[in-house]
Structure 1
């Protein structure tokens, strides 16, 4: 089976590695000149750093280098992904600087015609046929920039409007007036280095988010939020095990724990003195989220290098006295040579046409994906890395394991209507939890391990109860999952062999849009040995 993977970030590279180890013929298309996805040098903004420590932010069979600092820069993450591609021999299957411009289901919907060309060129499109397509372009690949009124005149007067990922050169901001939009991690991260060179740095935030310092007193942030306990303090769709106590009889204890954390973070970061305390309490964070505080941000607010305009939005861009400016909803006019937006992302696959998007989405534009992976009404298609989470590398890798098991005939799916009901329930929960501000169709941190459990439980491949119990108190180590891929390959060897035999006589089975539970098996490659390649056990 020939599989096209689009995207070479954590999702695309781990999918390529797992699928190749599972016996598939894989080609990876990536429009940037390097691997890395959001960490590519073409998308890194000044100040970009991880929200996780290096011990929790890696793929299962390759830890971060020992000499890396605990909190990683964007460049270090990109170098890690280059080393991952080298370790698993992915170089020959990577087509860098190659943009997929179209993907069309072939007649009978038994595969895809993929159209591609060199990125940024007007060369004729080359077409190739693939049996399956895995989309790993990432939920953070299409930045959303608000449609500011007056932008055309603003730009004509010399103003610039960029997404954070499109800003790379600090020198272009030296001596300029800069407005950063948003209060998420990217906005705060980029505002700090900007404040060192800009004439003025203003940050406009519609809604303040809760922030956590890297250390809360003597306690590292990773012990507070990068554990199953940290995740369990926030209510999930369904409650299991100890979570039933936390959100039932123990709810008072849970809220007290969160209040203490919120109070400590408020004191340590001086949020009250700086007027940066979000509305609502830390314990009642159901409609927001938590992000890591950017080092140096509170200090720059305190000394005036960054001015925060809280509970405000830009109502229009304009030209004021011949200079580019931004008017806020309260009437304040800010000089603005440069507007940098950390305002989220749109869930969008640019190489799918409108008709295909309509088949993927519900009426509100949310992707209908079983386990954040499998479209219910489009065959020969899967998504990797579409669960946004604190542990996004591990989550993407376990999605890749699910995809490989599915293609080897190792997944028995519920009926289409049952899957639709499950996805609708999840989307309704997300809508209620975030007040409609979620990235469409994707999960919202911090529900990472819940998603991983759901994926692996469906495969019967989850780690043991002792490992999961340890993760309640200690930061999650992705290395605990390094044997999941070889276990999946061994478990699906028989179904993969039957699929090879069946494929010789008939077309591969494809998902239907209704009907009873079914198993899908389409691999025509030989299963690999029990230990499927280098890197396992690192």
Structure 2
């Protein structure tokens, strides 16, 4: 069946590509994907990757059911590199989306269409400079939360120039095109009067940058307040642990649907097992990665937070392998606050100075929505965060004694399922894919794409709130849960990358999305004893599109 609706998808990263394919499969042929880049891939586009950059996922967790991921060599650490995913996404687009992607197009502004229906997009062709307006009936935001680099204003390249700093100042997300500038401005550590690259930040992008420049023979100093937590092992974890529901079950979800989950999170013996499990996992990871004493042992919580990485087996050229050998100088807890007067140093939060011939900031990103929507319009359509009114609390024993947080007045999103702004749910013309914080992007992106397609099609079997008020109440209750489950998270991530959080609990979210479409959930199977250990595989959702089409035909 061909759908006449004009659909625009903004963003040609993984979420945008799989959303486009699913909508095309469901008959939305009047569809365009817009990207300001010259190639597909989003954060994994060719101009953003660099040698040695590795994904934060186990192999097999970042691909789609219609396009198998090539196997890795058995000698590898079972981690995809940026180049692998870049090639994969380019191949996916070549096979399924020919002629549907417009490259080099910047979206300047998005407004409601005439008479308050549909959308008007103001565009600029980045090569010619020509501007145009584009009308569409339905819009999908797949811009993610990692496309607008953030450097504190007092540390920006302009601020560095004004203070007389001599070297390059860049953001870690631009290393694909700026790394050579840094290398050219710093002599190798093996030479006399070698230069120093300072990397500011404790997250994965900062760690990746520190490892890259160290492996390029440069002297690297990393300055950070607190490091990310991580999973690491001396040998690869078996699939029945790492690719099963085990970690999801050991982390509480808003709804405890099984007897095992209720035992683990609502009884004293169960909650003891849960907290002990995560403590041992964090401790074993630290021991596998780096010995004490090290500032890398002062990490964000593996259990309470989302600032966690999956390192797998530590290799000699990885960040932790290099730090373990003392090849990266670690300065923590500390922050860069200014540039030194001599043009070759940085001032730290304790008043001390360190040498710097180049600075790389791994200081996060701002929302990708703020440039394309007016703030008042974001509030009108429900994209903006607000002060939630739901004060529900959950008395799970496994959630007792949370860590202290710096702020209690976090504003939160009101986005239903993390996909549709609750205020706009009845219009069925706006959706988001790629805004959910999760550890399994492939599974979540693909399932979300089917949910969006059924939502746009108004499939009669789809279970949705019948009123805007019900959708808002559901979204606000979920936001209240997230603030209790992940204290402080909304204060440290931007709007376009926090529409929902399904970190370790992504299998439960996928189950809910499938049930919204009246489809079978818990597809990994297993008995009452084995189900937590059954491997979740992307092939388990390969037939979702056909299942939806059969239900649609039966209802017609």
Match of 1:376 among 422, 428, 450: 422
Aligned-pair CA distance for 1:222: 5.4
Residues 454, 83 of structure 1: alpha-carbon distance in 2 compared, 3 angstrom cutoff: same
Q: In structure 2, what is the Cα distance between the partners aligned to 1:367 and 1:280?
A: 23
**Structure 2 partner of 1:500:** none
Alignment of 1:7 with 2:29, yes or no, is no
SS in 2 for 1:372: coil
1:139–1:347: 8 Å Cα contact kept in structure 2? Answer: yes
Aligned-pair CA distance for 1:135: 0.9
**Structure 1 partner of 2:192:** none
1:139–1:442: 8 Å Cα contact kept in structure 2? Answer: no
**Structure 1 partner of 2:278:** 258
SS in 2 for 1:79: helix
Aligned-pair CA distance for 1:172: 2.5
Q: In structure 2, what is the Cα distance between the partners aligned to 1:32 and 1:102?
A: 17
Q: After alignment, is 68-77 or 476-485 more displaced?
A: 68-77
Alignment of 1:487 with 2:540, yes or no, is no
**Structure 2 partner of 1:77:** 85
Alignment of 1:166 with 2:174, yes or no, is yes
Q: After superposition, where does 1:15-414 map in structure 2 within 5 Å?
A: 15-24=19-28, 25-66=30-71, 70-88=78-96, 90-119=97-126, 121=127, 123-148=129-154, 152-156=158-162, 157=164, 158-168=166-176, 169-174=178-183, 175=187, 176-197=195-216, 199-213=218-232, 216-220=233-237, 223-241=240-258, 242-249=260-267, 250-278=270-298, 285-287=303-305, 289-293=307-311, 295=315, 296-314=318-336, 316-321=337-342, 323-349=343-369, 350-359=371-380, 360-363=383-386, 366-378=412-424, 379=427, 380-410=429-459, 411-414=462-465
Residues 465, 94 of structure 1: alpha-carbon distance in 2 compared, 3 angstrom cutoff: closer
1:180–1:341: 8 Å Cα contact kept in structure 2? Answer: yes
Q: In structure 2, what is the Cα distance between the partners aligned to 1:459 and 1:126?
A: 37
Residues 439, 462 of structure 1: alpha-carbon distance in 2 compared, 3 angstrom cutoff: farther
Residues 476, 288 of structure 1: alpha-carbon distance in 2 compared, 3 angstrom cutoff: same
* TM-score normalized by the length of structure 1: 0.84
Please list the CA deviations of residues 434-475 of structure 1 after superposition, one character each: whole Å capped at 9, or x if unmatched: 323344333443332222222111111244555377773144
Q: In structure 2, what is the Cα distance between the partners aligned to 1:279 and 1:80?
A: 33
1:33–1:97: 8 Å Cα contact kept in structure 2? Answer: yes
How well do the aligned residues superpose, as a CA RMSD in angstroms?
A: 2.6
Residues 347, 340 of structure 1: alpha-carbon distance in 2 compared, 3 angstrom cutoff: same
Unaligned runs of 5+ residues in structure 1 are 498-538
Aligned-pair CA distance for 1:182: 2.0
Q: In structure 2, what is the Cα distance between the partners aligned to 1:232 and 1:343?
A: 32
Please list the CA deviations of residues 22-80 of structure 1 after superposition, one character each: whole Å capped at 9, or x if unmatched: 11121111111111111001222453211222222211222201356631111110111
SS in 2 for 1:100: strand
2:9–2:20: 8 Å Cα contact kept in structure 1? Answer: yes
For this pair of structures, how many residues does the alignment match?
488
Q: In structure 1, what is the Cα distance between the partners aligned to 2:212 and 2:158?
A: 28
1:103–1:115: 8 Å Cα contact kept in structure 2? Answer: yes
Please list the CA deviations of residues 391-411 of structure 1 after superposition, one character each: whole Å capped at 9, or x if unmatched: 112211111111110111123
Residues 408, 302 of structure 1: alpha-carbon distance in 2 compared, 3 angstrom cutoff: closer
1:171–1:197: 8 Å Cα contact kept in structure 2? Answer: no
Please list the CA deviations of residues 145-176 of structure 1 after superposition, one character each: whole Å capped at 9, or x if unmatched: 23335864522433433221112244322324
1:53–1:222: 8 Å Cα contact kept in structure 2? Answer: no
Residues 384, 342 of structure 1: alpha-carbon distance in 2 compared, 3 angstrom cutoff: same
Which structure is higher in RCO with an 8 Å CA cutoff and minimum separation 6?
1
Aligned-pair CA distance for 1:260: 2.7
1:405–1:492: 8 Å Cα contact kept in structure 2? Answer: no
* TM-score normalized by the length of structure 2: 0.81
Q: In structure 2, what is the Cα distance between the partners aligned to 1:391 and 1:400?
A: 14
SS in 1 for 2:438: coil
1:110–1:131: 8 Å Cα contact kept in structure 2? Answer: yes
Aligned-pair CA distance for 1:198: 5.9
Unaligned runs of 5+ residues in structure 2 are 188-194, 388-410
Residues 492, 345 of structure 1: alpha-carbon distance in 2 compared, 3 angstrom cutoff: farther
Q: In structure 2, what is the Cα distance between the partners aligned to 1:458 and 1:113?
A: 30
2:14–2:42: 8 Å Cα contact kept in structure 1? Answer: yes
Residues 33, 222 of structure 1: alpha-carbon distance in 2 compared, 3 angstrom cutoff: farther
SS in 2 for 1:127: strand
